[in-house]
Structure 1
């Protein structure tokens, strides 16, 4: 049996869900999927929305509940991915984490923090799930990801994006391209 090709998973997260694009070192995308990161009945943005309407103790408890759900969903999503793709997954590439105050209460009450705290929470639980699998975790800067990926491969990305769009069909949006570029940056 020949060894499976090494690959990296680029992740683009938004509002309780994540796009995973699995990419070989050559830049070829071999899998694309969207996964939920929170259970039904739970809010996707507890720091930014629901937590703003609650007393702080209740808001902190709500964030803890959503984080626990996200942790379980991230673990399950990576386990499912690993069991269904015919490649050797080496790691995940996530958008960079902005700095935040140390406590959940501060993240809820600080305006700038509450605007990004939910996204950071999702990236952290995906990173934790990947680390538990023994995978490498890297972070990329979204503003530079496309240029960095093209530079790493030494060629334009549009043909790779076109191939991926043809292979997977719609939807194929900016967030898919961003996840793919992040995986390319991480895997080469």
Structure 2
């Protein structure tokens, strides 16, 4: 049975897509498509928990950030030749944030912190693959939010130059309070509450 032909962008070139290929496909791909290791990654619809975590973290990080930093949600970050993930939330320099409304992505050097909220389809990507790519690109701070029953848990990682790896610096259940990359305090129990 013959169906409609596949769009050209579905078929990867030899060696996979590059970040430049990926960024040129803006407008062709489904929302929230990522490029990881030269392959297009399509994500499943998000849950209400995921949406609420992203909203809280983006709002609080942006509100508490010093003037030279801004928080932004679901923007592509070009990490390298074959890497262009879309972190759930990122803290970037104000200079990068102010590039204008037509900006479609940031560069790794623009990013201070990335946050991923783990979904059923992203467990391996968010716990293993993406942190390695963020680390290799020089992003110093990585947070991972996960659901534990009715609670949200945030795992906080910071680059450890001695081991050249991310080191777990805290596991936060009800209240996230850290001093790096800046002083931050977030009530995680607010997730799911009307504000």
With normalisation by structure 2, the TM-score equals 0.29
Bigger relative CO (Cα 8 Å, ≥ 6 apart): 1
Q: Comparing both structures, which one devotes a greater share of its residues to helix?
A: 1
Q: Comparing both structures, which one devotes a greater share of its residues to strand?
A: 2
